Structure 1
Amino acid sequence: MTADPDSGLRTRLVDAGVALVAAEGAQALTLREIARRAGVSHGAPRRYFPTHLELLSAIAGRGFADLADRVRAALDGAGPDPRERVTALARTYLAFALDNAGMYELMFRHDLLESGHLGLRDTSLPLFGLLTELTGRIRPEADARRVAGALWANLHGIAQLWRWGSLQLATGADDFTPLLDAALLAHLGPAGAR
């Protein structure tokens, strides 16, 4: 059975985009530059991705898959305690955001999530579902979706403000761990409390 040449070029274009966003950030993701790095004409991406948003969505989909793999590995190393699992998930999320700033920015672009290309929203929702389920086990008296949403917003804010250097300046912290601990305490309550 021979490989589908279209599939190979699609993969090459996405690979080039992933490498480009890692090296230069989300703003560098032009069709022309992705094509150049993939070694094809500047019009070639349009044959496989009719719109720029579709190609960006495929690149962002790789980011969500990478984040999901990292979370899965972190949870494999965590114990059964839901709070320990939320802590592992949150720490992994922040580390991913800080280590992959361009990809993280691309993954949460509203226009990509709303476009519906490649089911990107469906790719991002399982992680939130996991956070909601664990939050519900920690805070059974609360609306788990709202608490998980507030915690996620807090984590997203920590990631953004840390990347910009604002939190380091405001708090004097040189590590995001104390901020993560404060966010978990604020949203989940004290450890061991029920």
Structure 2
Amino acid sequence: MRDRLVRTGVELVDAEGVQALSLREIARRAGVSHGAPRRHFPTHLDLLSAIAREGFRELGARVATVTEDDPRARIEALARVYLDFAHGRGGMYELMFRHDLLESGRLGLRDTSLPLFGLLAGLVARVRPGTAEPAVAAGALWANLHGIAQLRRWGSLRLATGTDDVTPLLAAALDAHLGPGEGRR
């Protein structure tokens, strides 16, 4: 039943967005009584965290397919995975980064998200050796990528740049946070 509720929530967030994730609607679509989710998830946040955890698992699986050896190329590939995930799984992406879920400590959600950030910080340290705080540089890069993803989701990117193509913005973000790439020095 627990897995069924989470799967139903994942399908619902993908189809209709975060706003559709009420306990009652998840129960209805799972074909159970409206009180059934409470037997498996004490709070609404617990169920939302379980759904978001599935998003982090999928993002982690996509990240694991990136095999570039060069740290900068790997960061670029990871950034593309991140932006593609945000674009293709918009509702899930929004849910995954809800502050209340990450701060709640529910279901170890931070334990699922922090290793992804740690990977980025480690790669930034390799691209920018001697950087005193690679986590800060990685945080700035991630914030930039998150902003690109959000602007694209909201349609603001098209309004500002005339296109939804994130490639030029990605290149600019990488250059800004990692230094110019080869051929752009």
TM-score (norm. length: structure 1): 0.92
Q: Does 1:50 align with 2:42?
A: yes
User: 1:64-83 maps to which residues of 2 (within 5 A)?
Assistant: 64-73=56-65, 75-76=66-67, 79-83=68-72
Q: Which amino acid aligns with 1:33?
A: E
The separation in 2 between residues aligned to 1:129 and 1:186, in whole angstroms, is 20
Of 7, 10, 14, the match for 1:22: 14
| More divergent stretch after superposition (176-185 vs 163-172) | 163-172
Percent of matched pairs sharing the same residue: 71
Of 102, 106, 114, the match for 1:113: 102
User: 1:14-163 maps to which residues of 2 (within 5 A)?
Assistant: 14-73=6-65, 75-76=66-67, 79-142=68-131, 143-163=133-153
Deviation at 1:191, TM superposition (A): 1.9
Deviation at 1:168, TM superposition (A): 1.5
Deviation at 1:166, TM superposition (A): 1.1
Stretches of structure 2 that go unaligned for 5 or more consecutive residues are none
Partner of 1:177: 167
The separation in 2 between residues aligned to 1:39 and 1:67, in whole angstroms, is 28
TM-score (norm. length: structure 2): 0.96
SS at structure 1 position matched to 2:29: helix
The separation in 2 between residues aligned to 1:140 and 1:171, in whole angstroms, is 33
Deviation at 1:171, TM superposition (A): 1.5
The separation in 1 between residues aligned to 2:175 and 2:90, in whole angstroms, is 26
Q: Which runs of 4+ in 1 moved over 3 A?
A: none
Partner of 1:3: none
Stretches of structure 1 that go unaligned for 5 or more consecutive residues are 1-8
SS at structure 1 position matched to 2:130: coil
